[in-house]
Amino acid sequence: MNPCDDFQLPRAAADRQHCLRVLSGLACVVAMGLALCSAALADNGLLWFEMDHPNPQAWQAVAILAAAAEEGLDPETYNVSYIRHALATVVQKPGLAPEAQAMLDQDLTTAMRRYLSDLHFGQVDPRQIQENFTPPFPNGFDPASVLQTAVQEDRLLEAVAAAAPALPLYARLRETLAQYRNLAEDPLLNAFWRMDLPPLPGTKLEPDQPYSGLSMLIQRLIALGDLPACGRVPATYSGHVVDGVKSFQSRHGLTPDGVIGQRTLNELNVRPAARVRQIELSMERLRWTPLAHAPRMIVVNVPEHYLEAYEVRGGQIEVKARMRVITGKALDMRTPLFDEDMRFIEFSPYWNVPLSIARSEVVPNILRDPGYFDRQGFEFVAGDGTVSRFLSYDALEAVRQGRMRIRQRPGPRNSLGDIKFVFPNKDNIYLHHTPSTRLFQRNRRDLSHGCIRVEEPVKLAKFVLQNDPQWGEERIREAMASGVSTTLRLREPVRVVIAYNTVMVKKNGLVYFFPDIYGQDRLLDMELRRSTHERPLG
């Protein structure tokens, strides 16, 4: 019997390869002895067949794989079209040889194991795209044993639900994905994006100006939920339409001023299909970003420029503090993505100027204006620890050559502000305050040399030290204002995660999209496409 004829498959390349696998498997079985194979089948070694017919769990598994897109996964990654066709053929034409039946059973088993693994652990190694998170904890999740037990106990749907990330954000992203996929696939709704909005009159569109694309703009805002459906189109860009644009801007990382400039126009022209992919990438990240691996977490979401400090109890997340942050410049000083334990707090810290910043900024500034040295509170530190506050060109040259370093004393001008949160790491990245507090009012805040500036350091310190009765708010403020550098070792380390997620869905259901400022979405998309083609199913 030719298994290709028996399955009645089309002659696509993938199907021909499967036929070769079937024939190869048959040859091995013959060589090892048909008696062995018969014994294995007699011992109920198949998961998906009963009395030569697919069991109900087999069809349930096919339905799960076919619906993989609901989880942001590609159904064809799991060969679902072939498996569904092959099972249907078995029903229509019983009598499949035991060896071919075993091969088909194994194909479905392999597909489901991979699906469970992808759903739980993710499809790529984040380190391949410079997201250097701690590998997943050994949490007892083994796709093979989970699948075996789920089929035997007829709990396949429950097992799949348990495999997905148990994060509220993940569940909200799944719902949002369905909404945006409907926008992308519904012919009526997708028609609103059939062409770009007309060019702006001049460099920007301001309230009360006429605009030829007003009707198209209103249609998009209604479809996206930023504007309630209304029956009239105003004569000019004004009133409720401006309010709708402000809502759109606030959800897309833009200044919500109601003025449509080129950045706002570009975001308005993004097709729903592109948003679908952006949501899928965010769901993939949640599978391996360690957002709930400790009882207390501090998470910085770089594209959002926000920090959240929260507790994890019984799988539930309770946010204790949320604040603006300033992160590394996208062009050349990106904040690295990783996780580490915060172990120290430095009050009234020194700033040891990194050599690269000393060479490119501090030394040139002092050479242009020698008074800058004293005004900023700088001093030189020799290799043996000797400190000098005397400015000399020899010392500046020694700094440039790396034989001495320059540091800034504690005080109101110190670049680290009055507190520094230390989680030791190879990149020497830390959280700190800043005297330049006005920068927190900017909408886009990738402005630092790589370290992360926090808007409300006292609130963050209270969260970190909340279980230490000796450190209340008053003592924290006193230590910050003392002007004397002191280091506190934490009794309870707090996990810090520098994360990257360009889609967030709040509890109220509002969806926020942020610019891919570091190009990490692009890298993840490329890696997913590469791994999908290169990673064999078996």
Could you read off the pLDDT of 373-429 as tens digits, one per residue? 999 999 999 999 999 999 999 999 999 999 999 999 999 999 999 999 999 999 999
Whole-angstrom Cα distance, residue 143 to residue 5? Answer: 33
**Residue 533: which pLDDT band, with cuts at 50, 70 and 90?**
low
Residues 6 or more apart whose CB falls under 8 angstroms from that of 296 comprise 309, 310, 311, 312, 463, 492, 494, 495
pLDDT at 36 > cutoff 90: no
User: Contact 487/345 with Cβ under 8 angstroms?
Assistant: yes
- 9, 11, 15, 17: CA torsion to nearest 10: 140
Which single residue is written with the structure tokens 């000399």? 392
For tokens 């805002």, the residue is 221
Average pLDDT over residues 144-163: 95
pTM of the full structure: 0.87
Helical (H) or strand (E) element with 321: strand 316-328
Q: Are strands 337-347 and 387-388 parallel, antiparallel or unpaired?
A: unpaired
Cα–Cα distance between 426 and 332 in angstroms, integer? 18
- Given a cut of 90, whether residue 15 has pLDDT beyond it is no
| 230, amino acid identity | C
Band the pLDDT of 52: cuts 50, 70, 90: confident
Are residues 105 and 46 in contact, defined by beta-carbon separation less than 8 angstroms? yes
Distance from the first to the final alpha carbon of the chain: 24
Within a 13 Å sphere around the CA of 405, how many CA atoms are in the beta-carbon half? 15
Query: Phi-psi category of 305—alpha, beta or left, where left has phi over 0 and alpha has psi -120 to 50?
Result: left
Q: Where are the domains of the chain?
A: 3-164, 173-274, 289-521
The arrangement of secondary structure in 289-521, i.e. its CATH architecture, is Beta Barrel (2.40)
Higher-scoring residue by pLDDT: 40, 248? 248
pLDDT in tens, 325-348: 999 999 889 999 999 999 999 999
**Angle subtended by helix axes 34-42 and 98-121, to nearest 10:** 60
**Residue in the structure block whose two tokens are 């400190």:** 387
- Mean pLDDT for the stretch of residues 93-104: 85
Decide which of 117 and 97 is more confident: 117
Q: How far apart are CA 244 and CA 251, in angstroms?
A: 11
3-state helix, strand, coil in the chain (%, to 5): 45, 15, 35
Element (H, E) at 446: strand 446-448
Q: Which residue(s) pair with 489 in the sheet?
A: 344
Mean pLDDT of 41-63: 83
Distance CA 518, CA 504 (A): 17
Q: Cα(393)–Cα(262) distance, rounded to whole angstroms?
A: 48
What is the overall mean pLDDT for the chain? Answer: 89
State the average pLDDT over residues 15-39: 37
- Residue 226 carries which DSSP code? S
Judged by phi (left if over 0) then psi (alpha if -120 to 50, else beta), residue 44 lies in: left
Which burial class, exposed, middle or buried, applies to 267 when counting CB atoms under 10 A from its CB (0-12, 13-18, 19+)?
A: middle
Give the pLDDT of residue 6: 35
At the topology level of CATH, where does 173-274 sit? Muramoyl-pentapeptide Carboxypeptidase; domain 1 (1.10.101)
pLDDT at 155 over 70: yes
Q: What distance lies between CA 216 and its chain's CA centroid? A: 32
354 contacts: CB under 8 Å, gap ≥ 6: 428, 449
CA 280-285-287 angle, to 5 degrees, is 105
Cα separation, 341 vs 417, whole angstroms: 22
Q: What is the pLDDT of residue 196?
A: 96
For 297-319, the three-class secondary structure string (H helix, E strand, C coil) is EEEEECCCCEEEEEEEECCEEEE
Q: How far is CA 33 from CA 39, 106, 142, 231, in A?
A: 11, 19, 32, 76
pLDDT for position 379: 95
Rounded to whole angstroms, the Cα distance separating 285 from 251 reads 20
Q: Please give the Cα distance from 423 to 433 (Å, whole number).
A: 15
pLDDT at 14 over 50: no
Amino acid 95: pLDDT: 76
How far apart CA 108 and CA 78 sit, in angstroms, is 9
